[in-house]
Amino acid sequence: MSRIKRHGTDGSLLSSLPWTLASLALALLPHVIYLPVWISAAFLACGLWRYMIEKRRAALPSTWIRAALALACFLGVLFEYQTISGVGPGSALLAIMASLKLLETRKRRDQFVLLFIAIFLVMSALLREQYLWSLPYLVVAMIFIMTAWLRMSAAASESIRRSFATGGRLLLYAAPIAIVMWVFFPRISSPFWAVPIDTSSGVSGLSSTMSPGDISSLSLSNEVAFRVRFDSQIPAARDLYWRGLVLHQFNGRSWKGSEPSMGRRAAQQIEVRGEPVRYRITMEATRQHWVYALDIPYQWDLHKTRMSAQQVLARDFPIDQRIAYQVESYTDYRAGADMNDFVRDRYLALPDSSNRRTAELARQMRRDAGSDGAFINALLALFHDEDFYYTLQPPPLGRNPVDNFLFDTRRGFCEHYASAFTVMMRSAGIPARIVLGYQGGELNPLGNYMIVRQSDAHAWAEVWFAGRGWVRVDPTAAVAPERIELGIAESMFDGIGLEWGLSAPSKFLHQMQLRWDAMNAQWNDWVLGYGPEKQNAFMGLLGMDNPSWRKMLLTLITLVIGLILLISGILALRYRPPPPDRATILYRRFVAKTGHQLSIGESPAAFAMRASTGSRLSADTILDITNSYQEARYGGVDALALQRLETQVAAIP
Amino acid sequence: MQGGNTLEELPLGKSTERAALAAAQAALGRIILGKDEQIELALSCLLARGHLLIEDLPGLGKTVLAHALAVVLGLSYRRIQFTSDLLPADIVGVSIFRKESGEFEFQPGPVFSQLVLADEVNRATPKAQSALLEAMEERQVTVDGTTRALPNPFFVVATQNPADQIGTFPLPESQLDRFLMRLELGYPNEENERELITGKDRRAMLEEVVAETSPEILLALQEAASQVHMSDALVDYIQALVRQTRESPDIDIGLSPRGAQALAAAAKAHAFIRKHSGVFPDDVQAVFATVAGHRLKAAGGAHYRSASELCQHVIDSVDIP
């Protein structure tokens, strides 16, 4: 007697399995670039393996194999990330579990679990990034998953198009509820449910140190740093200095700043003149504390953000998510007029043993100039008149980078000039420091806002005069005035860029880019930027001033229940039983003409028997019509039966 | 009423096979008087490859019907009288040691026949019953580790006496499910009873009857019956009936999916015998009580005198699509 074969698959999932696999693949798609390659490969392998098992009616792998695979994959994730919490390892685990779950998918119930995982994967992609394209992706992915769901129980005759339509319709019913929940769910400024952000992927931007080459490497990045919408007149390009952080410690090669929480009185040391510039900044995540604002910010509405002693705005915690804030700045200002000797020494400090030639030159030029002001002008004139070049690809510098730059290479980007200038100032006894930030920005005429990109990153210097305080001096302006007047983009296209083989992109492409960015800005403003303030304002419009979160939740629940009732009510009202087919219509017409009523459960044959007595129609007519009807409705052969029925019923007087 | 179609129009079944079936039906009608409907249902059960349970009082012709079916259809026939001391080996057979050859030789039991009559099946112990029921389900028996296929066609007619209560082992629902149909014969009418009294002895008549078909023809007929067209509307009807058995407050246990399959198969065979061009609603209704009657369990509070009355109630509460 043959032993019964170990549980083979029965091939019942063969038709719906590709849908499940495709749903999972679609759900994994946004994760792929972040996940280690072996996880994507494992998913593909498991999917293919499972499909072949189903196709060949083979048995699923044994419990031991599955357990070993699960353990190996878990350890793999642990080894890869060193942790299992956070978005990165979390989605990696989810992906690997989905792959392994495939290997024990035996029934439709398991497929349900897989589709749940797919939905969860789609949602977890939003923890990483919520771009404009996330929305169409979400819609497509959800419709696809819903369709896969429907395909599991679809009749073989149901067309794929129909499944898609049903899936889309189901999603459409859910959309109003989702929107209501999104609008009314209470927003809290720092959500307690915030997930640990994936820190494994880098964010480009300025860091808190500066060495030669740091900013020039940024200048090729087209990524958006922040967007600005001006409420008042847009300042001239030469005034568009977006202040970030201040660096004051020099070790001979690189500059370093201090922790941002140095002083709290800095704002009081600012005197402002003229008209303020009012604007709103939507800043991308930087994972840093610095908050960028136009030089110099005077008032801002960002929570937990203070101005340090160096007139730098910093937030108490790193900026992990895109934030938006309103600022009022003055381009004409006077800051830090008082300075004690201790602080003064710090802004004069230079390492003893480096860049000696620079120090020598500075002292000599200062002597020749006679005054601090004349010295600064002489130095800027030196940068302008001598053969100093502004370039994206400066040659490497040696052990004394400032000496090297000033006397040998004379080619540099903004950080070289700012660094050299500040060292010269300090050597001559003038307190000086470096400010890192962005300069300029591109006005997007389509959305009427300014885009500041990483390529606009800039470094400039500030020097201190007794009685005047800190004064901005940008040595780059002396070397390459077009960088400041026109912005980095124009100067790269028109001037130095060509030299390095960078050609201006076509006008059309640039227009498309601007249009896309304008859409993104709107999306950020209205969807991602829907925070506590916007919500409060919106609730005010609805007649609820400063509602408590309890009240909001209650409103939310009431609205959701109401919507569910409304939608199901509409669906119930709109339901129409499928129209009877032609043969049934004709048969009912015939029944009505016999003068008898068709009772429930009475077959046409039984009715004919009953109706043939005591009807005004002849028994033959009744028999003929009944036969034609049964042929047309239930028979499988006679294509002419319906036609016959049509004439027979029409012939009844 | 079932006329209207000529033989040439029918898609399934060669006309010679059709003619053999009609002849068999007529021959059965001559032996078992006034039971045309039951004969038609028994043939439907056979054509749907199902087994038949005849439940009625003694003396109503259960055995004669089974025997007549075998003779008329040209099937090999064995009868097993179920008693409380019946052993599984009495049904499936035993291996006997032959001294001459020095080997065990299998002596096939009565189950190795094309038509097996299991008389008074509820008198035997569950062990013996299950030996038969297993053979019915698997269409093979395993004796001494060797699996032997049963003949094809293989058709079991079991009878049981509903009045007997003492010393019986009623078949549980799960085993009743193995029978495609449960049939009741009922008393003959006056005229037919008179002919039974005055006419020839039925058993003697069976001696004279000749086979109208052969197993090969029967297999072909079975195949043709399974090919009868079933329209979407009729599948809807079957589903509506099944749903009603599950949802009706009068019924505790409704039809299983297997019950629904059985209903469809029996209705197809019935439509085939009636020469319908597809399964018609009255085919479903005709077989419904015999297919569903023994699979349903009426609720405690429901008062129906018989299963067929319950089934009629189900039919009368479902609209025909």
Residues B206-248 pLDDT 10s: 888 888 888 888 899 999 999 898 988 899 999 999 998 988 8
* Confidence band, pLDDT 50/70/90 cuts, at residue A463: very high
The label of the residue with tokens 């004690």 reads A340
Task: In whole angstroms, give the CA distance from residue A423 to residue A354.
Answer: 11
Helix (H) or strand (E) holding A185: none
Instruction: Kindly give, in sequence order, each residue whose CB lies less than 8 Å from that of residue A414, ignoring residues fewer than 6 positions away.
Output: A215, A390, A458, A459, A460, A476, A483
Would you call A601 and B1 a contact, using CB atoms and an 8 Å cutoff?
A: no
Q: Tell me: do B24 and B43 sit in the same domain.
A: yes
What does the pLDDT look like over A372-393, one tens digit per residue?
Answer: 889 999 988 888 888 888 887 7
For residue A563, with 0-12 CB atoms within 10 Å meaning exposed, 13-18 middle and 19 or more buried, which class applies? middle
Asked whether residue B288 is domain-assigned, the answer is: yes
Q: Tell me: do A287 and A388 sit in the same domain.
A: yes
A78 vs B167, which has greater pLDDT?
A: A78
Asked whether residue B190 is domain-assigned, the answer is: yes
Q: Tell me: do B235 and B151 sit in the same domain.
A: no
| pLDDT over 90, % of chain A | 14
Asked whether residue A461 is domain-assigned, the answer is: yes
The label of the residue with tokens 């919106």 reads A538
**Where in B138-275 does DSSP place strands (E)?**
140-143, 146-149, 155-160, 181-183, 251-253
The label of the residue with tokens 């299950």 reads B130
Would you call B229 and A636 a contact, using CB atoms and an 8 Å cutoff?
A: yes
Lowest mean pLDDT: which of A154-158, A344-348, B182-186?
A154-158
Q: Does the beta carbon of A621 lie under 8 angstroms from any beta carbon of chain B?
A: no
Q: Tell me: do A402 and A488 sit in the same domain.
A: yes
Asked whether residue A85 is domain-assigned, the answer is: yes
From the list A31, A416, A458, A596, the catalytic residue is A458
* Confidence band, pLDDT 50/70/90 cuts, at residue A5: very low
Lowest mean pLDDT: which of A169-183, A483-497, B48-62?
A483-497
Residue ending a domain, among A129, A153, A177, is A153
Q: Is the pLDDT of residue B187 over 90?
A: no
Q: Tell me: do B217 and B239 sit in the same domain.
A: no
Would you call A630 and B317 a contact, using CB atoms and an 8 Å cutoff?
A: no
Q: Does the beta carbon of A600 lie under 8 angstroms from any beta carbon of chain B?
A: yes
* pLDDT value at residue B193: 86
Q: Tell me: do B189 and B130 sit in the same domain.
A: yes
Q: Tell me: do B190 and B98 sit in the same domain.
A: yes
- Which tokens in the block code for residue B286? 């005709």
How many angstroms separate the CA of residue A606 from the nearest CA in chain B?
Answer: 8
Q: Tell me: do A251 and A353 sit in the same domain.
A: yes
Helix (H) or strand (E) holding A517: helix A507-523
The distance in angstroms from the start CA to the end CA of chain A is 72
Q: Is the pLDDT of residue A499 over 50?
A: no
Q: Tell me: do B112 and B212 sit in the same domain.
A: yes
Q: Which residues of chain B are at the A interface, by a Cβ-Cβ cutoff of 8 Å?
A: 1-2, 4, 9-11, 142, 145-147, 228-231, 233-234, 276-282, 285, 315-320
Would you call B282 and A635 a contact, using CB atoms and an 8 Å cutoff?
A: no
Assess whether A46 carries a catalytic annotation: no
Nearest chain A residue to B280 by CA distance is: A634
Would you call B281 and A604 a contact, using CB atoms and an 8 Å cutoff?
A: yes
Angle between helices A372-385 and A356-369 (to 10 degrees): 120
Lowest mean pLDDT: which of A57-61, A210-214, B280-284?
A210-214
Asked whether residue A184 is domain-assigned, the answer is: no
Residue ending a domain, among B161, B195, B227, is B227
Residue A354's CB is within 10 A of a number of other CB atoms, namely 18
Q: Tell me: do B88 and B123 sit in the same domain.
A: yes
Asked whether residue B2 is domain-assigned, the answer is: no
Task: In whole angstroms, give the CA distance from residue B135 to residue B156.
Answer: 10
Would you call A636 and B280 a contact, using CB atoms and an 8 Å cutoff?
A: no
- Which tokens in the block code for residue B41? 């249902």
Asked whether residue B246 is domain-assigned, the answer is: yes
Structural domain harbouring A631 = 582-651
- Cβ within 8 Å of B, A 622-651: 623-624, 627, 630-631, 633-638
Would you call A636 and B2 a contact, using CB atoms and an 8 Å cutoff?
A: no
* pLDDT value at residue A496: 42
Lowest mean pLDDT: which of A288-292, A307-311, B105-109, B301-305?
B301-305
Q: Tell me: do A219 and A147 sit in the same domain.
A: no
Query: Chain A interface, mutation test: which of B2, B226, B276, most A Cβ atoms within 10 Å?
Result: B276
Asked whether residue B1 is domain-assigned, the answer is: no
How many angstroms separate the CA of residue A117 from the nearest CA in chain B?
Answer: 31
* pLDDT value at residue A569: 92
Q: Tell me: do B205 and B272 sit in the same domain.
A: no
Q: Tell me: do B153 and B234 sit in the same domain.
A: no
* pLDDT value at residue A119: 93
- Can you give the CATH number for the domain in which B309 is found? 1.10.8.80
Q: Tell me: do B118 and B211 sit in the same domain.
A: yes
Mean pLDDT for A112-120 is 92
Q: Tell me: do B197 and B233 sit in the same domain.
A: no
Asked whether residue B176 is domain-assigned, the answer is: yes
Residue ending a domain, among A489, A507, A525, is A507
Asked whether residue A592 is domain-assigned, the answer is: yes
Mean pLDDT for A98-110 is 87
Q: Is the pLDDT of residue A189 over 60?
A: no
* Confidence band, pLDDT 50/70/90 cuts, at residue A220: confident
Q: Is the pLDDT of residue A217 over 80?
A: no
Q: Tell me: do A233 and A139 sit in the same domain.
A: no
Structural domain harbouring B268 = 228-321
| Of residues B11, B228, B320, nearest to A601 (C-beta) | B320
How many angstroms separate the CA of residue A640 from the nearest CA in chain B?
Answer: 13
Asked whether residue A195 is domain-assigned, the answer is: no
Q: Tell me: do A395 and A277 sit in the same domain.
A: yes
Instruction: Kindly give, in sequence order, each residue whose CB lies less than 8 Å from that of residue B231, ignoring residues fewer than 6 positions away.
Output: A633, A634, A635, A636, B278, B279
Sign of CA dihedral A292, A297, A303, A305: positive
| Of residues A600, A624, A627, nearest to B319 (C-beta) | A600
Residues of chain A contacting B37 with CB distance shorter than 8 Å: none
- Which tokens in the block code for residue A80? 């890869």
Asked whether residue B57 is domain-assigned, the answer is: yes
Would you call B142 and A1 a contact, using CB atoms and an 8 Å cutoff?
A: yes
Task: Tell me if B142 sits within 8 A of B148, measured CB to CB.
Answer: yes
* pLDDT value at residue B9: 44
* pLDDT value at residue B1: 38
B165 vs A183, which has greater pLDDT?
A: A183
Residue ending a domain, among B227, B253, B274, is B227
Helix (H) or strand (E) holding A451: strand A449-453
Helix (H) or strand (E) holding A453: strand A449-453
Would you call B142 and A623 a contact, using CB atoms and an 8 Å cutoff?
A: no
The DSSP letter of residue A383 is H
Task: In whole angstroms, give the CA distance from residue A327 to residue A316.
Answer: 18
How many angstroms separate the CA of residue A576 from the nearest CA in chain B?
Answer: 16
Q: Is the peptide bond before A177 cis (omega within 30 degrees of 0)?
A: no
Asked whether residue B151 is domain-assigned, the answer is: yes
Interface A–B counts its CB contacts (< 8 A) at: 77
Asked whether residue A340 is domain-assigned, the answer is: yes
Query: Chain A interface, mutation test: which of B10, B280, B284, B314, most A Cβ atoms within 10 Å?
Result: B280
Task: Tell me if A154 sits within 8 A of A163, measured CB to CB.
Answer: yes
Q: Tell me: do A148 and A261 sit in the same domain.
A: no
Domains: count for chain A: 3
Assess whether A372 carries a catalytic annotation: no
| Of residues B11, B233, B279, nearest to A637 (C-beta) | B11
| pLDDT over 70, % of chain B | 94
Residue ending a domain, among B204, B227, B250, is B227
Residue ending a domain, among A153, A168, A191, is A153
Domains: count for chain B: 2
Nearest chain B residue to A608 by CA distance is: B1
Q: Tell me: do A28 and A106 sit in the same domain.
A: yes
Asked whether residue A566 is domain-assigned, the answer is: no
Q: Tell me: do A217 and A90 sit in the same domain.
A: no
* pLDDT value at residue B56: 83
Would you call A1 and B145 a contact, using CB atoms and an 8 Å cutoff?
A: yes
Q: Is the pLDDT of residue A129 over 80?
A: no
Mean pLDDT for B282-298 is 90
* pLDDT value at residue B280: 92
Would you call A609 and B1 a contact, using CB atoms and an 8 Å cutoff?
A: yes
Complex ipTM more than 0.90, yes or no = no
Q: Does the beta carbon of A582 lie under 8 angstroms from any beta carbon of chain B?
A: no
| Of residues A603, A635, A637, nearest to B281 (C-beta) | A603
* pLDDT value at residue B84: 86
Q: Tell me: do A375 and A456 sit in the same domain.
A: yes
* Confidence band, pLDDT 50/70/90 cuts, at residue A494: very low
From the list A31, A46, A214, A414, the catalytic residue is A414
* Confidence band, pLDDT 50/70/90 cuts, at residue A282: confident
Task: In whole angstroms, give the CA distance from residue A489 to residue A219.
Answer: 9
Q: Is the pLDDT of residue A58 over 90?
A: no
Mean pLDDT for A115-136 is 84
Task: Tell me if B222 sits within 8 A of B85, measured CB to CB.
Answer: no
* Confidence band, pLDDT 50/70/90 cuts, at residue A126: confident
From the list A474, A517, A525, A596, the catalytic residue is A474
* pLDDT value at residue A486: 65
Task: In whole angstroms, give the CA distance from residue A14 to residue A19.
Answer: 10
| Of residues A603, A609, A634, nearest to B278 (C-beta) | A634
Mean pLDDT for A1-8 is 46
Query: Chain B interface, mutation test: which of A581, A630, A634, A648, most B Cβ atoms within 10 Å?
Result: A634
* pLDDT value at residue B2: 41
Residues of chain B contacting A597 with CB distance shorter than 8 Å: none
The Cα-based distances of A249 to A189, A305, A361, A438, B222 in angstroms read 35, 24, 21, 20, 98
Q: Tell me: do B40 and B86 sit in the same domain.
A: yes
How many angstroms separate the CA of residue B5 from the nearest CA in chain A?
Answer: 9
Asked whether residue A494 is domain-assigned, the answer is: yes
* pLDDT value at residue B3: 40
Assess whether A416 carries a catalytic annotation: no
